[in-house]
Amino acid sequence: MTIGSPLPHEAASLHVTGRARYVDDQPLPENALHLAFGLSKVARGRIVKMDLSEVLNSTGVFGVLTANDLPYENDTSPGAKDEPLLAETDVYYVGQPVFLVMANSHLAARKAAQKGKLEYETYPPVLTIQEALDAESRFEEGPRIYQKGDAETAISVSDRKLSGVLITGGQEHFYLEGQAALAIPSEDEEITVHSSTQHPSEVQHKVADALGFGMHQVRVEVRRMGGGFGGKESQANGLAIACAVAAIMTGRPCKMRYDRDDDFIITGKRHEFKIEYEVGFDETGKINGLSFIHYVRCGWSQDLSIPVSDRAMLHADNAYNLAHCRIESHRLRTNIQSATAFRGFGGPQGMLGMERVIDHIAHDLTLDPLIVRQRNYYTDAKDLKPNFKDMQTTPYGMKVKDFVLNAMTDEIVKTSDYYKRRKDIEAWNLNNSILKRGIALTPVKFGISFTLTHLNQAGALVNLYQDGTVRLNHGGTEMGQGLFQKIAQVAAKSFGINLASVKITATDTDKVPNTSATAASSGSDLNGMAVKIACETICDRMSGFLAEYYQEKITSVRFEGGLVQIGKHEISFPDAVQLCYQNRVSLSATGFYKTPDIFWDRIKGHGRPFFYFAHGVSVSEVVIDTLTGENRLLRTDLLHDAGASLNSAIDVGQVEGAYVQGVGWLTTEELVWDNAGKLMTHAPSTYKIPAFSDRPDIFNVALWDNENSEETIYRSKAVGEPPFMLGFSAFLALSHAASFCGKNYPELNTPATHERLFWACDRVKHGD
Amino acid sequence: MNIRFLLNGETITLEKARPEETLLDLLREDRGLCGTKEGCNEGDCGACTVIVIDENSVKPLNACILLLGQVHGKAVRTIEGVGVDGKLHPIQDAIIKNHGSQCGFCTPGIIMSLVAAQMNNEKDHDVALAGNLCRCTGYAPIIRAAEVAQQVVLPEWLIFDREKLVSCAILPSLEQPKSSDDIAALLVKSPKTRLIAGATDIGLWLTKEFRDISPFTFLNQANDLTKIEEMEVDYKIGAMVNIEDLRLWAASVSPSYGELLRRYASIQIRYAATIGGNIANGSPIGDNPPALIAAGARIELRCGESRRTLPLEAFFIEYGKQDLRDGEFLESIFVPKDFENLCCYKISKRFDQDISAVCGCFNILVQEDRIVKARVAFGGMAATPKRATHIEEALIGRDWSLATIQSCENLWDKDFTPLSDIRASSAYRLKTAQNLLWRYYRESLGETCNVLEVSA
Ligand SMILES: Cc1cc2nc3c(=O)[nH]c(=O)nc-3n(C[C@H](O)[C@H](O)[C@H](O)COP(=O)(O)OP(=O)(O)OC[C@H]3O[C@@H](n4cnc5c(N)ncnc54)[C@H](O)[C@@H]3O)c2cc1C
Ligand code: FES
Ligand code: FES
C-alpha cells in the first residue's frame, strides 16, 4: 500500500550526499557566459545618461545589453506587460534592472555591474500606503468591494462596537537556493532553458516573446528548486529571459544567478497590508456586522497583486460565519519591489485581520478569545441540517459544506490541555513581574483552487516500458514540497507496483504542455489526478487486452502487489506488460484533469471559487520579557486537516515547516526601507528568518484524519499553504502575554519584533 | 602563491593561486564539487559549511568566506567526502529516515555541521546548528535526526587525513608570518600590509564589496598568538585566539560572558573569527569589546620591537577610527582575573546568529550592600563601544537598592545618544539599556528575568 505511507522525499538520498543538482550545479561548457544586472539606484526617475564604458572595460566582460539592444518584447510580467526586463527610460524602484552584463565568470559579471555610471532626473517616490493613497497611485480603477448583508447597519445597531487597525509586514521568501537560470542555444533557432521556476510554461511563453519565437522553439526544464514558496512563480522570468536573449545573441550558453543581496533587492516579496476594521457585536461575543478595508502595498508593477488582493478578501472571514460583512480592497502602486506570490497568496493577511478582530472583541469583553471564536465559527458539516435551505455561506456566497473546525478545536483543546494551561499562565503571571506568558488557539480555513478558474487544469504523460517500469512526467514542479514522491505513490498504486519501478523526470515543457504554476497548493490535487487518469488509461487498455487473452471478464482484472490478476489467472506485472507489448497494446498515455464545479465572478465577488476548504488549528505558548520585548516560543500543538493524507511524513513536514515560516513572518522577519525607497535589510545578516533555536521546545504535530468530502486524489487535501497560517497562534500568544502588563489592548502589529513587543507592553501599561 | 591542502583526502596543489579566492568558488567552479552550496555568500546561512581539519582541531567553517590562504596546510572535507566505509555517514542516513530534507539545499551544510559536532562531542544541537538556516522543514525533523545519530563517530577519514597531513609534510608557505615577531617585522617593512585574521569581515569586503585588499598577509600561522595564558593578575589572550576557543575559556571563568559568546554569530563564524579582529575592526556593535571594557581589559599594541598598552576603551576613538598607528598591530589582550561577576546582555532581533542591537555589560561589585566597583559598558549605543560613565558614578559608593537603580534613570541620555537603524530605534535602545540595569538588579535579587530560562 503506497498511498499514505510515510516514505522519504524522492531525492532524499541525493540531498544528503550533495548529488542533487540545482540549476547552478549543471556543468557548463567552457564558453559559457555569466550574467548580472546593473540596477537602478533611485526609486523613481528618468535615466538621462548611461555611461557603461567602465563596465565594458572591466576584467572578463564580454558585452553589455540595454533595453535598446533587446530584439523583441522587453517584458517579464506574468500578464500586465508593465515590467520591462531592462528599464527603458524611467525607473520605478531601487533595484530595477537597467543593464545586463555578460562576462566570463559570475564574479566578473557582478563586479562589472557595479561600474555603470547612471545619471537620473529624480522624482519624489511614492513609498508608503499613505503616500500612494494621497497620490491616487493604484492598480484597477478603484477599490474592489465584496459584501454580504448590510454591515454598516448591523454594526450601528450593535450593543458594542470596536474599531482598529492592523498592519502586517511583508516577507522575503528566502528560498535557500537563490534565483537561477541557464539557457543553452541549439541549432536552428531553438533554445533550452533550465530555470529555477515554479512556472515553466510561463517562462517558455515569456522567453518565446522575448525572442520573437513560437513557444515550440523553446524548451524549459525544471528538475528541482531549492525552495520556492511563491517567490519563483513570476520572479524567475527575468533571469530566464535575460539568459535566453543573451544566448541567442551570442550563440553561447548563458547562466545567471542572483547573489543573495541582489535577490533581495530585485525580487518581489509578500504584500504588506494595512487593515482597518469596524465591528459590531453583542455581550456574548457574537459578531453582528463587520467591515474591513484592506490597503495593499503592491510595489511598482502589477505582477500578481490583483489575485493576491482578491484572495485576501476571500479569506477575510477565516473560520467565522458572518451575516453582515463588507470588504473593501485598495491595490496601491508604490516605488518598491513588486510584491508577489508568497505561500498563502494574500490569504494570511486577510485571515489575520479577522483573527485580530476576534482577539480585540475578547479583550473588550474580558473573555477567553477561544469562546469568541467558537461562538462565531461556521457549523461543522456533520451538524448541518440535511437540505438546510439557508446553507451557511461565505461573504462571497460560497456554501460552507465541509467545515470541521468545531471538532478539531475540541480535539486540540484536549490534547494541548488548553484550559488548564491558560489558568496556570494567569497564575504564573501574577507571580512574575518582568516575564509574562501567553497562550492562544487559532483556527485556519483556507480555500483550495486557483481563483482564476482556467488555471485549475493539469496534464501528465505516463510511459510504461516493456520491462514493467514507469517513467512519468506531469506539469508540477518540485521545490521541496514532496510533490514528486506523492505523485510517484499515486502511479505505483495505480499499477499496483513497487515505487522502485517508478521514476519521475524533470518537469519539461516538451513532455507536458500548457501547465499552470505549481502554486495555490494545487500541485498534488491537479497533477495527482492527471497522472492517475493517465495510469488508468493504460490500465484500461491492458485490462481490455488481458481479459480477452485469458477469456475473463474485464472487471476481474486487478493490479496489486506487483501482480496482475485476471479472473483466476495471476501473472507478474512485468510479464503482463511484456505480453501487452508483444500484442501491440499502447503503453503510453497522457492524462488531463480539470477541477469540477467551480465558478467565480471576481468583479461581483460571487461564486464558488474553491473546490473545498482545508483546515487547521494551533495552540502556541510563549514567554516575553517586558523589559526588552525578547520572547520565546515554549510549546506548540498543531492539528492539521490534510484529508486522507497521500504521505503522512511529507504532510507533517509541510505543516511543521509552514508553521515556523509563518511564525517568522509574524515575529523576526522585518523588511526595512529607508526614506529614499532603498531596501536596507537585503541579506540574512539583517533579515532574520527563524533559526534552529527558534522552533518551539515542545512541538506536537498531528494530522486530522478525515477524508475530503470532495473527490480529490485519494480524498487527500492540499497541504502546501494552509498550515502557514497556523503561525497566527504564536503571534496572538505574544499579544496575550503583553496584555498582562496592564489594561489597554496591545494592538500589536507584525512583525512582532522584540522592539514592537516592547512598545506594545508599554502601550498596555500607559496607553498611547 | 603556492597553496597546498588535502581535499577529501587528495592532495591539491594550486600553483599561482589567488589566495584571496574563496574556497567555495574553488570547490564549485574549479573542482566541480557542487554539493557545497551558496546560500548567501556572507557567512550567515551555513549552506556552504565544510569541515577543516588540522593536527588538533576539527572545525566546521563557511567556505563562502574562507580564503584559500587560510586552508593552506589543512585537510578539507566536503559533503562529497564524509561517507564512511563507502557508505553513508550515519547522519546522512538519519536525515533521510527522519525526513530532514525537503528542498535539500540546506542539507549538505547541515550534515557537515552535524558531522563536525559529533567529532567534537558537541551535544547541544542548537549550538551546533545556529549557523545553518533551513527555510523548509521548521527544523524539528533535523533535530530528530541529530538525536537518533547522537553517538560519537570518529570517521576513519579523520585519522587518514591527519596522517596524510604529516606524511606529505605540507609545509607552511614561506610567505606567511609564523609568529608575532614575523608579523612585527613584516609590518615594519611594509606598514600598509592588510592583516587577515579570520576573514569574517574581510571575506565580505571581497564577496560583497569587491574591494582590492592587496597587499595582504594571513596571520593564521602565527601560533604564538593563539594562546590564553593565566598570568599573575591577568589573563593574557593572544590576538589570534578564535572566538570559539575564547568562548570555551570564558564559560569557565564567567558563565555570563561565555553565554554572550555562545550567541556570537554561529559556531562556523566563531571558529574563524578572532578576538584581535573583533577589536581591531572598531565596530560599535562587536560583542567582545563591551564585555572586555566592563571587565577592565587592556590591550597591547606592537610595532616592531616596541609595545604599548592602553585601556581597551581608549582604543576606540570615533566611528571608524582606532588608536592604531602605521606598522602597529594588536598583539594581546590582558583581562584582570577578578571579573567573575561580569554580567552580559545581548539584545538582537533573533537570539542566535544575529548582531547586537544593544549589548550591555555590567561589572558591579557589591560589598556589605555597598557598591564598591562599577564598570558598565555598552555596544550599539554609540559610534564606538563605550562606558556609561555617568551611570558608573551614580552607582559607586551607593547602596545596592531600588533607590540607587532609580536614581540612574535620567542619566542614560547623558551617556548615550544612540542611533535609529534597521536593528532598533534610538528610543528602544535607550529604554532597553536602562532596563538592562533593572534586569541586572532584579536578577541579583533572585528573580528569573531571562526568557531563555523558562520552559513550558
Ligand atoms: C555571519 C556573521 C556573523 C557575525 N556575528 C557577530 C556577532 O554576533 N558578534 C560580533 O561581535 N561580531 C559578529 N560578526 C563580525 C565578525 O565576526 C567580527 O568582526 C570578527 O571578530 C572579525 O575578526 P576576524 O578575525 O574575522 O577579522 P578579519 O576579517 O580577518 O579582520 C577584520 C579587521 O581587523 C584587522 N585585524 C585583524 N586582526 C588584527 C590584529 N591582530 N591587529 C590589527 N588589526 C587586525 C584586519 O586587518 C581587518 O581590518 C559576524 C560576522 C559574520 C560574517
Ligand atoms: S553561503 Fe551562506 S554561509 Fe556561506
Ligand atoms: S530543506 Fe529547503 S532549506 Fe532546508
Please state the ipTM of this predicted complex. 0.97
pLDDT at B171 over 70: no
Return the C-alpha cell found at B109.
551544510
What does the pLDDT average to over A295-299?
98
- In whole angstroms, give the CA distance from residue A25 to residue A307: 34
Atom 44 in ligand 1: residue holding the nearest Cα: B280
- Set A83, A172, A721, A747: catalytic member: A721
What pLDDT does A768 receive?
Answer: 73
B239, B197 contact by CB (below 8 A): yes
- pLDDT > 80? residue B173: no
B172 pLDDT more than 70:
no
Cβ neighbours, 10 Å, residue A305: 26
Round to the nearest angstrom and report the end-to-end CA distance of chain A.
61
- The size of chain A, in residues, is 768
Asked if residues A225 and A198 have their Cβ atoms less than 8 Å apart, the reply is: yes
Fold equal for B1-175 and B225-455: no
CA distance, residue A387 to nearest chain B CA (Å): 43
Q: How large is the average pLDDT for residues A169-176?
A: 98
Neighbours of A581 (CB within 10 A): 16
Cα separation, A317 vs A396, in Å, equals: 10
Over residues B326-379, the pLDDT tens digits come to 999 999 999 999 888 899 999 999 999 999 999 999 999 999 999 999 999 999
In this predicted structure, the answer to whether residue A389 has a pLDDT above a threshold of 70 is no
Q: Atom 3, ligand 2: which residue's CA is nearest?
A: B43
Contact B101 A27 (CB under 8 A): no
Residues 6 or more apart in contact with residue B428 via CB below 8 angstroms? A755, A758, A759, B357
**Residue A3, pLDDT score:** 86
Pairing of strands A324-333, A287-299: parallel
Neighbouring CB atoms inside 10 A of A71's CB total 11
Residues 6+ apart with CB under 8 A from B91: B111, B114, B115, B118, B145, B146, B149
Is residue B244 pLDDT above 80, yes or no? yes
- Give the mean model confidence (pLDDT) for residues A679-701: 98
CATH architecture of B225-455: 2-Layer Sandwich (3.30)
Cβ contact (<8 Å) for A11 and B104? yes
What mean pLDDT comes out for the span A161-169?
Answer: 98
Instruction: Determine the 3-state secondary structure of A61 from DSSP.
Output: strand
Domain residue ranges of chain B, discontinuous segments joined by +? 1-175, 225-455
pLDDT tens per residue, range A309-352? 999 999 999 999 999 999 999 999 999 999 999 999 999 999 99
Does the beta-carbon distance from A758 to B425 stay under 8 Å?
no
Fold of B1-175: Ubiquitin-like (UB roll) (3.10.20)
A479 vs chain B: nearest CA distance in angstroms?
6
Give me the pLDDT at residue A2, please: 72
Confidence of residue B154 (pLDDT cuts 50, 70, 90): confident
Across residues A683-701, what is the average pLDDT?
98
For A187, phi then psi, to 5°, come to -65, 160
Specify the higher pLDDT residue, B150 or A746. Answer: A746
Annotated catalytic, A721?
yes
A185/A249 Cα distance (integer angstroms): 10
Choice from B25, B44, B79, B107 to test ligand 2 binding pocket (greatest atom count within 8 A of CB): B44
| CA-closest candidate to residue A703, choices A611, A622, A614 | A614
Average pLDDT, chain A: 97
Beta strand extents in B185-305 (DSSP E only): 194-196, 216-218, 228-230, 234-238, 298-303
Give the pLDDT band of residue A388 (cuts 50, 70, 90).
Answer: low
Is it the case that residue A677 has pLDDT exceeding 80?
A: yes
Helical H segments across B133-254, by residue range:
140-148, 156-167, 180-189, 202-207, 243-253
Chain A residues whose CB is inside 8 A of the B29 CB are: 105-106
Q: What are the residues whose beta carbons fall under 8 Å from the beta carbon of A676, sequence distance 6 or more?
A: A42, A43, A94, A125
The three grid cell numbers given for residue A46, joined into one nine-digit string: 528618468
Alpha-carbon gap, residue A7 to B98, rounded angstroms: 10
Q: What's the whole-number mean pLDDT along residues A159-182?
A: 98
Nearest residue on chain A to B81, alpha-carbon basis? A17
Per-residue pLDDT at A501 exceeds 90: yes
Task: Tell me, using a 6 A CB cutoff, whether residue B161 lines ligand 2.
Answer: no
Determine the distance separating the centroid of ligand 1 and the alpha carbon of B83, expressed in angstroms: 33
Rounded distance from Cα A483 to ligand 2 centre (Å): 27
Q: What is the pLDDT of residues A456-479, one digit of tens each?
A: 999 999 999 999 999 999 999 999
